[in-house]
Amino acid sequence: MTVQEAKVKLYRYCAYQERCHQEVEQKLWELGVRNDEADEVIHHLISEGFLNEERFSKNFASGKFRLKHWGKVKIVRELEQRNVSAHCIRSGLLEIEEKDYQAVLSELLKKKAESTEAENVYSLRDKVSRYAIQKGFEPELVWSLLKELVPDR
């Protein structure tokens, strides 16, 4: 595949949805474009505005939070796996409003507590907290909200 053909394919690939550099590099590898040619294509995509990691990070963070109700810990971990820079990760997390974050966590905890059966209040808190922490919410925040929502009986 020529560099020009790779550029055309990757224009469509990046226009479809935001991509990080790692995804584009993987796609180039699959297309058989390597080394200097791959660098040239990536540089061209960046200069044309098709590839922007900060924009990717912002869209990723806000999308995963709004749609899947992921916490910041899980979002950061996923972005780090995609080799997104720390600056871009911080920028992406700024897209999540703190009041919305706490409201989503509170609603998530309420729903899980209502649908969970447990022998006692401590067992219930344990099950609900594990669920929220697995979704990527900070343990300290989970426990502080959970103690308000599920008081000692």
Rounded to whole angstroms, how far apart are CA atoms 93 and 60?
9
Comparison of pLDDT for 150 and 74, the residue scoring more: 74
pLDDT of residue 99: 97
pLDDT tens for 105-128 read: 999 999 999 999 999 999 999 999
CB distance 84 to 20 below 8 Å: yes
Is the pLDDT assigned to residue 133 strictly greater than 70? yes
Residue ranges per structural domain of the chain: 3-47, 53-93, 98-149
Structure-block tokens of residue 93: 């997390």
- pLDDT confidence tier of residue 153, bands split at 50, 70 and 90: low
User: pTM of the entire structure?
Assistant: 0.92
CB distance 140 to 76 below 8 Å: no
pLDDT tens for 42-85 read: 999 999 999 999 999 999 999 999 999 999 999 999 999 999 99
Instruction: Specify the 3-state DSSP secondary structure of 43.
Output: helix
Q: Report the chain's terminal Cα–Cα distance, integer Å.
A: 68
pLDDT of residue 46: 97
Q: b/e per residue, 108-134, with b = 16+ CB within 10 A?
A: bbeebbeeeeeeeeeebbeebbebbbe
CB distance 72 to 138 below 8 Å: yes
- pLDDT confidence tier of residue 103, bands split at 50, 70 and 90: very high
Instruction: Centre a 10 Å sphere on the Cβ of residue 95 and count the other Cβ atoms it contains.
Output: 16
pLDDT tens for 13-26 read: 999 999 999 999 99
| pLDDT, average across residues 28-43 | 94
